[in-house]
A and B are shown apart, each in its own frame.
Chain A
Amino acid sequence: MSSNNQDTLNQTYQAMAAKDEPKRPVLKNCVKAFFIGGFICFIGQALKSFFLHTFNFNEVTSGDPTLAVLILIAVLLTGFGVYDKIAQFSGAGTAVPITGFANAMASAAIEYRTEGKVLGIGGNMFKIAGPVIVFGTVAAFIVAIIKTLWLQWTGG
């Protein structure tokens, strides 16, 4: 069979497969993500207010214990095998907040613990979270350069 013929065959099939492929329910997923993600932020805000008013924290420092508590809850839910089920429902809603990052770390750590503490957990813990840190840092660097240059030029 010539490669041209093969290409046509592939394209015909790809079109046929795409036609009946059940699509991700994007709008529904967005709405669910909005409310679940918003609800996690609501919990975060409630925690922050709690730390602000009950303990000796100020507006800036009260964020630290808030994040720690959210991370702890996400890690516990991951360990109990519940987080992935909530995530299947809520998608980006549980992935985008810091709970998603905690889940990425914890799930990899759990997954690879049978390969030992150093090479298993240590070597794989950042498997999913690593790229987020790398490209987060790169993005922050680029944005910071743009900001610096902008301020230089505009003299602001």
Chain B
Amino acid sequence: MQQGKQSWTYKNNPVIQSTGVVGGPFEGKGMLSRDFDHLFSDIWMSESSFENAQTRLMEEASTIALSKINKKAEDIQFVFAGDLINQITATSLACRTLGIPYIGLFGACSTSMEGLALGGLVIDNNGADYILTGSASHNAAVEKQFRYPTEYGAQKPPTSQWTVTAAGVAVVGKDGEGPVLTAATIGKVIDRGLTDPFNMGGAMAPAAADTVEAHFTDLDRDPSYYDFIVTGDLGKVGLPLMKELLRERGIMVTDEQCIDCGMLIYKENQKVQSGASGSGCSAAVVYGHMLNRMKKNQMKKILVVATGALLSPLTYQQKESIPCIAHAVAIEQKGVEQS
């Protein structure tokens, strides 16, 4: 139900019953390699194009998520998913394979939480028994879409981010085992006039701060309610800016509390400048690493804030500044509230 201006609380606590997380070879060399269900050894993934490889990532992650709870595609009522490729074709093609009724979303890198928030709402209001949500990104396919050819020798500035090759998918149901969704906050499009597409973290930080602030206002919560505020993906440049913006507005988040998916996935020696990005990044890190840590009781309540830069190569060339958005979903361990 609606709470405050732009938030929902889920009174029936939809459950993340299962997840599927896959990645590419570069991610396999990273910090979180053990949190992936499957790692491809080649970026082509036996497909004929990188776009098809991204479709494959989405299909594979979905298949794994379903198989973990012995479900078939027919058992799922709706898919809420999207990606960064032109007209979200990679996700649409994956859904052609899955054959599940499909609501395509575009929220750039915020798609993961956009899908989870909407899917949670549908489950919470008896709109479905099971929904599947998630997102994928493929480094070569997405960079081709937004930047230079992958093999082109352009020197990237220290503010730039690396698009991950990964997919994260979650199956959400009404009950059962797993972490639950308790609330979500839908963000507004925020644009502070930044124009550098090689500094997405800086552009997206105000959107993240705006959504986090709205979340705490709407739900009348304090930052101390959450063990972690997980952003995806502000990187080394954006995360400090978000913290600074929040503190300016009197929301005293701690340094230990704020972590960023884009800063977790790779090792220091992987040279990804400011960190990782891509719609598959927050999906894979949250549905893999974060939920694994929740299972191990290392965290009980997290607020995941997925941030998206809603630009296109066209708007950039037409000198439009970068419109950004952030959606937040609160994921908690069941029974924590009562104990």
Contact = CB atoms under 8 A, between A and B. Distances in A.
A88 B206 contact: no
Interface in A82-99: 83-84, 86-88, 90-92, 94-95
Given A100-B153, A111-B150, A21 B159 contact: yes
Contacts of B237: 20-22
Given A10-B193, A22-B159, A24-B158, A17 B153 contact: no
Contacts of A79: 151
Contacts of A107: 148-153
A87 B155 contact: yes
Question: Dominant SS at the B interface?
Answer: loop
B151 A110 contact: yes
B199 A10 contact: no
B270 interface: no
A66 interface: no
Contacts of B240: 20
Interface string B269-308: 0010010000000000000000000000000000000000
A112 to B, nearest CB: 8
A104 interface: yes
A104 B150 CA distance: 11
Contacts of A88: 153, 155-156, 271
A103 B153 contact: yes
Interface residues of B, number: 32
Given A9-B192, A17-B194, A22-B158, A86 B144 contact: no
Contacts of A111: 144, 149-152
B205 A17 contact: yes
A148 B271 CA distance: 51
Contacts of A103: 151-153
B157 interface: yes
A13 B210 CA distance: 13
B117 interface: no
Given A78-B151, A83-B151, A107-B153, A14 B50 contact: no
Given A17-B202, A17-B241, A21-B202, A110 B149 contact: yes
B197 to A, nearest CB: 14
A92 B155 CA distance: 8
Contacts of B206: 13
Contact of A84 (B144, B152, B244): B152
Contacts of B241: 16-17, 20
B48 interface: yes
A81 interface: yes
A49 interface: no
Best-buried of B149, B156, B157, B158 by chain A (most CB within 10 Å)? B149
Q: Which 5 A-B pairs have the closest CB atoms?
A: A87-B153, A111-B149, A114-B49, A107-B151, A107-B152
